[in-house]
Structure 1
């Protein structure tokens, strides 16, 4: 699950991303990201380093208190992910227990395949940079001015970076396209993958706007 914080050296991070694009032979690609990845997508858009950016519940539009809440919840999930995998498998296999375990991150956790839930828990457990990123991101706020098409889409049932933060995103990014993701939580790719795909394609101009 993407962390809600952001490294303090954003110029260095975005420069590294641009170098990565070049290494893969990508010239100003379309980008999309969720939470931390959403913030990075917006920063790249502000640089004009991409052709378009889709940000799903992006970091950078919350108060200090809201950010502490997000990091606390994600830290608790990371601690829980350290349970032995057989225990996690039994936990995720029971619909009621899966809702209890993942309901803060997903609005519809039972739509997620069991193996995907285990893979997410494993990734969160093994995220060695989690604490460093969380510490570095405590003072982050997005203040860029994108020069390319941007969509900001927010899950209406987001409990990590709550939907009310979308109002601030609308204020700071008046030229962007702002969309609601009805019934989706913080990680909408699992809650409604078809909707998320259509939002991204609409930003790129490939699909319906």
Structure 2
């Protein structure tokens, strides 16, 4: 199925910022993870009830370069400015995946009054030593699909298979560009913040934590830690799903939609 998006473009602090949009209804801002290789097609599963807004982070995806970014605070300011530019008709829900879950957590902690409900899908950022994430540098390139999905066949189409040299070259260039942007974002503290638990205490918005129970990148054993730290959190554990839970178990989107519409 081909998913058709609208494309919105803004100049935010000198950064070309591209937002893909789909659906009608209450707005939902989605913040993607540390790469855009899986795309945004999953959003079709929410578009029947929500106006899903899918920006590419500065220096990533469809957006332009942002060499000034030196940490998460720059992205928080960027997204507050983007919200101003969007001039949405109602308070949006906020949803973040992986690195975008960390981003959404800090954004909601700083500006909880700007959002309605919050969804965190396999969020990064906590860096609890008792529940460590898998270091990306420890994963051989050919093994990444098996780390992204419990069923590697779900992730394999996002990777070059040797049959298309142009796709392979573009894939490599995109990952290098996004890796550089993520590296600058993570320069202060790595993929997270040492005081993230303290920040979470401010998020009084109803929050849903979603985690695949077979996640090999960010262990699902972190999920109770998030729920304990968030004042109004509930957990949606997804059986037989890896990190790309929205792609591997698309029926999860219906449950997320029910939570947001409650």
Normalised by the size of structure 1, how large is the TM-score?
A: 0.71
Aligned equivalent of 2:147: 104
Paired residue secondary structure (1:103)? helix
Is the 1:32–1:54 Cα contact (8 Å) retained in structure 2? Answer: yes
Q: 1:204 and 1:20, CA in 2 relative to 1: closer, same or farther beyond 3 A?
A: same
List 4+ stretches of structure 1 deviating above 3 A. Answer: 7-12, 64-67, 116-123
Indicate if the aligned counterparts of 1:45 and 1:51 stay in contact, CA closer than 8 A. no
Gapped regions of structure 2 (runs ≥ 5): 1-31, 36-68, 161-166
> How many equivalent residue pairs?
180
- Distance change in 2, residues 1:110/1:58 (3 Å): same
Please name the residue that 1:126 is paired with: 177
Q: Secondary structure at the match of 1:17?
A: helix
- Cα offset, 1:15, TM superposition: 2.5
Query: Which stretches in structure 1 are left out of the alignment for 5+ residues?
Result: 81-96
Report the Cα distance in structure 2 between the residues aligned to 1:34 and 1:181, rounded to whole angstroms: 15
Asked if 1 retains the 8 angstrom alpha-carbon contact of 2:149 and 2:155, the reply is: no
Report the CA distance shift for 1:15/1:117 in structure 2 as closer, same or farther (over 3 A). Answer: same
Change in Cα spacing, 1:101 to 1:44, as seen in structure 2 (3 Å) is closer
Structure 1 vs Structure 2 CA RMSD: 3.0
Q: Does 1:200 align with 2:251?
A: no
| Aligned residues of 2:131 and 2:221 also touching (Cα < 8 A) | no
- Corresponding residue for 2:55? none
Change (3 A) 1:76 1:153: same
| Structure holding more strand per residue | 2
Aligned-pair distance for 1:111? 2.6
1:83 — aligned with what? none
Measure how far apart 1:169 and its partner are.
Answer: 1.0
Is the 1:105–1:187 Cα contact (8 Å) retained in structure 2?
yes
In 2: Cα distance, 1:108 partner to 1:43 partner: 31
In 2, distance between residues paired with 1:136 and 1:185?
28
Q: Deviations over 1:19-40 (max 9, x none)?
A: 1022122253212111111122
Higher relative contact order structure (alpha carbons within 8 Å, sequence separation ≥ 6) = 1
Q: When the two structures are superposed, what TM-score results if normalisation uses the length of structure 2?
A: 0.58
1:15-164 equivalent positions in 2, closer than 5 A: 15-26=77-88, 27-46=90-109, 47-48=111-112, 49-64=114-129, 69-70=133-134, 72-73=135-136, 75=137, 80=141, 100-112=143-155, 114=157, 116-118=158-160, 121-122=171-172, 123-127=174-178, 128-138=180-190, 140-141=193-194, 142=196, 143=198, 144=200, 145-164=202-221
Counterpart Cα distance in 2 of 1:37 and 1:43: 10
Q: Does the aligned pair in 1 maintain the 2:96–2:102 contact within 8 Å?
A: yes
Q: Which residue of 2 aligns with 1:93?
A: none
Matched, 1:3 2:39: no
Alpha-carbon distance change, 203 to 14 in structure 1, aligned in 2, over 3 angstroms: farther
